[in-house]
Amino acid sequence: MIAELGHFALILLLALGCAQAVLFCPVRMAFFRPIKLASEHGEILAQLSPEKGNAGFEADKGQTARLLWPLPVMICLLAFMAQGALIYSFIISDFSLPLVADYSHSSTPLFYRISAAITPENCAILLWISLTALASVFFWVQSHLSQRIQNTDTTLAVLGLIMALLAASAIIDGNPFLRDPAPPLDGMGFDPLRQDVLTLIHAPLLYAGLAALSVIFATTFAALPRAQLDRVWARQMGPWAVSAWLFLGAAILTGTYRSYIEQGWGQWWYWDVVENAVLLPWILATALLHCLTALEKTEALKPWTALLALSAFGAGWFGMFLVRSDWLGPLPAALIATGEHATLLIGFCIVMGGAYFLFSRTAGQLREAADFSFLSRESGLFINSVLFAVAAAIILTGTVYPLIVRWIGDSIVTVGPPFFVQALLPVVVPILLVMGLAPSLRWRQDRAFSLAGRLKLPLIMSAVITLFVWMRHINASPLPLLGIGLAAWIVTASIADLWERLRRNRDQSGTKYRNIARLGPHYTGMTLAHIGMGLLVAGASASTLWQEEIVLSARSGQSIEIGPYNLQYEGVALLPGENYATRKATFILYQNAQPLGQLSPEVRYYPVRGVETIEADVWHSRDGDLHVTVGERAEDGGRIVNIRFFPMMSWVWAGMIIILIGGIMSVFMRALLFFKKNEGPTQ
Amino acid sequence: MRFWIAVIPLVLFVALAGAFLVNLGKDTSVVPSALIDKPVPDFSLPPLPGRDKGLARSDLANGQVSVLNIFASWCVPCRAEHPLIQRLAKESGVAVYGLNYKEKDPQDGVIWLNELGDPYTAVGMDISGRTGIDFGVYGVPETFIIDGNGRIRYKHVGPVSPDILQNVLLPKIQELQG
């Protein structure tokens, strides 16, 4: 019964989404003139458009949104009802729903039943719709609070269309609420690889990112026809762009850490479709953030910014389609064909085709308000965002290449990490170079001589650091060395610029606190993110450069030395888990004969799916990560033990977290500024 | 000039989206087997515990059309399709061979067949999954139709449904029998 209610909510949502797309669209006057005269609502509509003579394209001042605001709110409620109905069906293990039968089992713990209702791709489309609906309500609130939001109606119309298309995909491609006339007695179980808290956090972060991107897309789409890509547009997009970037970044962090623990060999990035599907929109969102800064400051780079805003959402949608459709091969662990998701693809084509068509019509007429010279902050931001876009194009190519080859040549190829590393290297190196340089550049125009003066110190320091590392590791391969050099360059250049600015601010008087506050949300966020990126690159380079690995067959009581540590193997115990059996090994960790703690890697066996998973245990410290996994019993009676020491791996995690803190700081400071401004004229 | 630059994204998008739309509806789960119309790989597998006949390439190339079904006791879809494999064996009249894939314990397969019924002419045990790799198995269950010369003529990935049995597998077998 509850499932039917959810089904009904989903269908109603589709209808209301279409209604929102039509009713909020300002062009409707031209399309629906005869209908309007006949309809009962004729009077209301007439009130909405006082200048009736204007052929349908009157200014969008958000009148419809003021009148019909319950519509987006209703859609949001319906979406959460549908999502709630699915979660409820999972909780009560209603196996007459094929999705529940596919992804859950009577032995699955309650927590993971909820997780199963949200995380698998087929279920997650409801989460995607819900968060998009929530974002459109937030957008309405934003436009209500601030008088400076443009094109509210058109934006909501586009969002309505997006939600209707997603709902259509949910209904047609794999309706979660259709019952199986002959339900199985029990389900197939939750995918053991997903049985983790991090996976449950990952899904809402990812879809919140996509939802924020859809608002960015809709805002841009709405601004295109009359080429209103100005400062106001950039300012209203700002919070959405930062939060999309932040959510997607957090999704990448959780996904990365999960695969670091889950995969036996301690790698944390695999370039597989699921990862690329999040990375692509994140890269484009990063590029967009940079361009928005330039646009807000000097009204430069308008068409390019608009293109990035449209493409970031497109990349997100396309990635979700690739992950869902089984075209790139079903995941061995899933064992379930998920179908083609044709409706999702058609929806993508409608939305993005319309957007690019509109772009091709209007982008040529966009006037750049400002000109800038080659050596200026604008050109630095532009070059970097172009490089980001090229990186995204390379990743997209690598991801769909196997499909294209299969269609053309009927042969099977796989594209792995070597391709991505080789192809991305020539792009990433300049990105990192410009990343250190651009913050010190002046707007409009800069002089090479004074720039060199400002950057002299960071340049020397990073060269010294690289040389120092090279002297100590004379046989090191060039790639990690290059990484360390670039990381040092970014961090020193960022700090030097920060120092310079704080000094300049102090000269204009003010306490230290105000000095920092005066840096503004953009600059604070950027500096933190850049320093975090530097740490990440340094950590990734160092951990590949100095990583140590020991594989051995260990016996109880054996002591193993690795890095600065000493590990004592205690043995393996067979223990029952919630819905699995686990072989849990125990290691005691010593440093300088002092016991530090205990590590217990596991091998879990999930009987329902018949799958074994590896759960590594990791000791994080300032020096690096100790990554321990256990395997099978060896022929000599010992236990295969795999121990890796990744020096400076903590820098990678710290770097990622600092990047995200940069985003959070920027959002926080923006919010403070916003409310300060609304309080009244204080200055 | 500016107009042409603005059109580039549209052109790239149409090319990419077009490629996907054109290929929509082609059942890609059938194509990936590079083995279609190729001879069955050479293999020889031991029997289930307590039985005397295993499975080898020669069983599948004996002049008669045959079916090879890959199953495992730990695989829930296999359990779902099992009654249909029994129907397939009865209605088609051809020999259906089983490949018991990656069992934890060799006894599991025997227990499974005792419980659900055994439609197979012979069953081979692929404990290591090595033969499965040669057959390009990437998800159990899978069902292969092999002609009298030992060539793989059709491959179905995933559980057999009544629809697939009636409209795909049985007609294909009849067609091959001529």
List of chain A residues whose C-beta atoms are within 8 Å of the C-beta of residue B140: 335
Tokens 């309706």 belong to residue: A175
Contact B32 A412 (CB under 8 A): yes
Contact A332 B139 (CB under 8 A): yes
pLDDT score, position A410:
61
Question: Residue B157 sits in a domain of what CATH number?
Answer: 3.40.30.10
Contact A330 B138 (CB under 8 A): yes
Opening angle at CA A477, ends A475 and A480, nearest 5 = 125
Contact A407 B23 (CB under 8 A): yes
Output A675-680 pairs: Cβ under 8 A, ≥24 positions apart: A678/A145, A678/A146
**Domain that residue B94 falls in:** 27-177
pLDDT at B28 over 60: no
- One-letter amino acid of A501: R
Query: Has residue B110 been placed in a domain?
Result: yes
Q: What are the mean pLDDT values of chain A's consecutive 10-residue runs (683 residues total)?
A: 92 94 70 38 43 46 78 94 94 89 88 89 89 95 82 90 94 86 82 85 95 95 82 87 94 91 75 87 94 84 90 94 71 45 90 90 71 80 91 91 75 71 89 87 78 84 89 79 91 89 69 65 88 93 84 86 88 88 91 89 85 86 88 80 89 94 88 70 38
pLDDT score, position A563:
81
Pairs of CB atoms within 8 A across A/B? 86
Query: Has residue B3 been placed in a domain?
Result: no
**Could you tell me how far CA B93 lies from the centroid of its own chain?**
18
Task: List all residues 6 or more positions away from B160 whose beta carbon is below 8 Å from its beta carbon.
Answer: B81, B84, B85, B88, B141, B143, B169
What are B's interface residues with A at a Cβ cutoff of 8 A? 2-3, 5-7, 9-10, 13-14, 16-17, 19-21, 23-25, 28-29, 31-32, 34, 72, 74-77, 80, 104, 138-140, 157-158
Which among B21, B75, B139 is the nearest to A345, CB-wise? B21
List of chain B residues whose C-beta atoms are within 8 Å of the C-beta of residue A326: 28-29
Contact, B96 vs B67, CB < 8 A? yes
- One-letter amino acid of A78: L
Query: Has residue B164 been placed in a domain?
Result: yes
Question: What are the phi and psi torsion angles at A248 (to 5°)?
Answer: -65, -40
Contact B75 A607 (CB under 8 A): no
Contact, A470 vs A476, CB < 8 A? yes
List of chain A residues whose C-beta atoms are within 8 Å of the C-beta of residue B77: 188, 335-336
Q: Which residue from A606, A605, A616 is spatially nearest to A641, judged by alpha carbons? A: A616
Residue in chain B closest to A352 (alpha carbons) equals B13
Best of B71, B76, B84 to mutate (most A CBs within 10 Å, chain A): B76
Which among A303, A327, A360 is the nearest to B10, CB-wise? A360
Query: Has residue B13 been placed in a domain?
Result: no
pLDDT score, position A399:
86
DSSP class of residue A609?
A: T
What is the rounded CA–CA span in Å between residue A208 and residue A278?
Answer: 12
Query: Has residue B109 been placed in a domain?
Result: yes
Query: Has residue B7 been placed in a domain?
Result: no
Task: List all residues 6 or more positions away from A51 whose beta carbon is below 8 Å from its beta carbon.
Answer: A58
Query: Has residue B49 been placed in a domain?
Result: yes
Contact A329 B32 (CB under 8 A): yes
Tokens standing for A196?
A: 């983790």
Which among A356, A403, A610 is the nearest to B75, CB-wise? A610
B81 min Cα distance to partner chain A (Å): 12
Strand pairing category for B123-126 and B95-101: parallel
Which among A356, A410, A607 is the nearest to B10, CB-wise? A356
Helices H / strands E in chain A, number of each: 22, 10
How many domains in chain B?
A: 1
What pTM value is reported for the model? 0.79
A348 min Cα distance to partner chain B (Å): 9
What is the rounded CA–CA span in Å between residue A132 and residue A159?
Answer: 8
What is the rounded CA–CA span in Å between residue A616 and residue A260?
Answer: 8
Query: Has residue B172 been placed in a domain?
Result: yes
A488 by Cβ neighbours in 10 Å (0-12 / 13-18 / 19+) ranks as buried
List of chain A residues whose C-beta atoms are within 8 Å of the C-beta of residue B10: 353, 356-357, 359-360
pLDDT score, position A339:
62
- One-letter amino acid of A592: N
Interchain contact A326–B (C-beta under 8 A): yes
